[in-house]
């Protein structure tokens, strides 16, 4: 997890376009392979707010509280945001009017947030994450994340990965 680090994911963007054009098992697998390698930008709310350091870069004070805001779908489900690059992030920032710092997160970071439990043992309120909500708008539901994690764990143990993961929406 990197603070205010720019990212670029041309292969993932290409896979998103392929998947939108034709949803096939091959395209899904290519998408998943790029997704697990990618770093995606996620807006954040940091308290206290980061301040500019001596080098002119924003710095987070030790002990700061970091939250990742979510978008709410028309059906009421909530999703973390994931942007493939700064252009997609800027489009959201301009439309939302929110000037938020961001982190570059990996698939594992999103999985950790989705399956995190609070002090009462309740699972995260997020139903998944959405990639480029103003562009491709691809939902990666919690079930798909679990399927990808299970397949990768099986592969790490030398077992067959099983069937293709649940498809993105």
Give tens-digit pLDDT for 72-87. 999 999 999 999 999 9
Pairing of strands 78-82, 126-131: parallel
Average pLDDT over residues 4-31: 92
pLDDT tens column, 44-63: 999 998 888 878 788 888 89
8 A C-beta contact, residue 139 and residue 79: yes
Q: Name 43's bridge partners.
A: 102
The pTM for the full model equals 0.86
Closest CA to 114 of 65, 85, 147: 147
Pairing of strands 51-52, 45-47: unpaired
Give kind and range of the element (H or E) at residue 145: helix 142-156
- Does position 164 have pLDDT exceeding 60, yes or no? no
For a pLDDT cut of 90, what percent of the chain falls above it?
A: 66
- 81 compared with 166, residue with greater pLDDT: 81
**Phi (first) and psi of residue 97, to 5 degrees:** 75, 15
CA gyration radius, the chain: 17
pLDDT band at 169 (very low <50, low <70, confident <90, very high): low
């Amino acid at each position: 997890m990197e603070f205010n680090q720019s990212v670029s994911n041309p292969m993932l963007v290409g896979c998103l376009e392929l998947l939108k054009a034709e949803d096939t098992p091959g395209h899904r697998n290519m998408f998943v392979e790029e997704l697990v390698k990618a770093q995606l930008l996620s807006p954040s709310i940091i308290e206290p707010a980061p301040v500019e350091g001596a080098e002119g870069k924003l710095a987070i004070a030790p002990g700061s509280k970091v939250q990742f805001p979510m978008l709410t779908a028309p059906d009421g489900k909530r999703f973390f945001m994931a942007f493939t690059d700064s252009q997609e992030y800027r489009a959201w920032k301009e439309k939302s009017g929110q000037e938020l710092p961001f982190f570059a997160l990996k698939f594992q970071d999103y999985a950790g947030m989705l399956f995190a439990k609070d002090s009462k043992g309740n699972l995260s309120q997020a139903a998944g994450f959405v990639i480029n909500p103003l562009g491709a708008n691809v939902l990666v539901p919690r079930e798909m994340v679990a399927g990808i994690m299970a397949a990768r764990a099986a592969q790490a143990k030398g077992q067959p990965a099983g069937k293709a993961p649940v498809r993105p929406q």
